[in-house]
Amino acid sequence: MEEILQYLFSGLTSGAIYALIALGFTIIYNATEVINFAQGEFVMLGAMLTATFCGLNLPLPLAFALAILITALAGILIERLAIYPARKASPITLIIITIGLSILIKGLAMFIWGKDPLPVPAFVGERPISVLGATIIPQSILVLATALIAVLTLEAFFKKTLTGKAMRACAANRLAARLLGIKVEPLVLLAFALSAAVSALAGVIISPITFATYDMGTMLGLKGFSAAVLGGLTSSSGAVLGGFILGILEALAAGFLSSAYKDAAAFIILILMLFVKPEGLFGTKEAKKL
């Protein structure tokens, strides 16, 4: 029993991270129909910048804010310099552009920060908390709480604010949105900034657990993508659930099957999902676009 609980804790921690990254995927996908394969690099940037600013002994809240802001800025730059000029191209071209961007960002990070992982001090102490025989570290609780708050805030933003509603309108039907007088371009820009910020947040809060390495983004990005596909690329709450399901499945696979198949679990789910239910568990079948 306490083992299962421990696997659950382990899965929830990874799952919260996957959820935040998956959320980043859906934000950009909804706005542009592009799957941004540089998403994982935003996580890496968030973690790396946190390590840097913590190294400079800045107060933690300031370090977080700067890390997230700078990554959001990177998101905006990417949209302006790489996606916007090619906006007339097909989504597949744009997707390939994002793969190129991912390689570029990773390379730059290697130049700036070097190849060694950077340590980040724990934000909230390292003494493990015992719950019914299983243990969890405070940082993991922080990860979970942050993920939940971020998801709820975004949900409120999309449902309650005018800008959020406009973004959803854009996602639903870009032409119709434009006819109603919604300016699409700034919204796409905003989507990139938001998506980068959410992923950077994931990077910030996991950095004390996983440390910061220039090449940490790729695998996390793939896991986040699997989670997003599992939950449905069009649904933000679906993506979040997908993240948690994936994290827990991975932990259970490692615990009960063999840890050798842990990563396989994620990718088998991805492939099965794409075959059986490509719109995801909670996604809506999108209207065929011409």
Partner 1 sequence: MKKWFLILSVGLFLLASASIWAGEPYRIGGLFSVTGPTSFIGEPERNTLVMLVEEINKAGGINGHPIEVIIYDTEGEETNAVKKITKLIVHDKVLAVIGPSRTGTTLAVIPFVERYKVPLISCAAGIKIVEPVKPWVFKTAQSDRLAVKKIYSYCQKHDFKKIAIITVSNGFGQSGREQLKALAPQYGIEIVADELFGPKDVDMTAQLTKIRAKNPDAVVCWGTNPGPAIVAKNMKQLGMKQQLFMSHGVASKKFIALAGEAAEGIILPAGKILVADQLPDNDPQKKLLLDYIAKYKARYGEEPSAFGGHAYDAMLLLKYALAKAGADRAKIREALENARGIVGIHGIFNMSPKDHNGLDEKTAFVLVRIENGDWKLIK
Residues that bind partner 1 (CB under 8 A): 3, 6-7, 9-11, 13-14, 17, 115-117, 119, 121, 126, 128, 130, 135-137, 206, 209-211, 213, 215-216, 218-220, 250-252, 254-255, 258-260, 262-263
Which tokens is 187 given? 């919204």
- C-beta of 3 vs 286, nearer to partner 1: 3
132 Cβ contact list (under 8 Å, min separation 6): 1, 2, 5
Q: What is the closest distance, in whole angstroms, from the C-beta atom of residue 90 to partner 1 in the complex?
A: 31
Residues in the chain: 290
Supply the minimum distance, in Å, between the C-beta of residue 47 and partner 1: 11
95 φ, ψ to 5°? -65, -40
Minimum CB distance to partner 1, residue 53 (Å): 17
Comparing CB distances to partner 1, the nearer of 247 and 280 is: 247
Nearest Cα to 153, choosing from 69, 27, 18? Answer: 27
Contact between residue 212 and residue 71 where contact means Cβ atoms under 8 Å apart: no
103 Cβ contact partners less than 8 Å away, ≥ 6 residues apart: none
What is d(CA 196, CA 189) in angstroms, rounded to the nearest whole number? 11
Number of neighbouring beta carbons within 10 Å of residue 183:
11
- The least distance separating partner 1 from the CB of residue 44, rounded to whole angstroms, comes to 11
Contact predicate 239/23, CB 8 Å: yes
Give one DSSP letter per residue of 19-34, joined into a string: HHHHHHHHHHHHHHS-
CB of 163 to partner 1, least distance (A): 33
For the purposes of burial, counting CB atoms within 10 Å of the CB of 221, is it exposed (0-12), middle (13-18) or buried (19 or more)?
buried
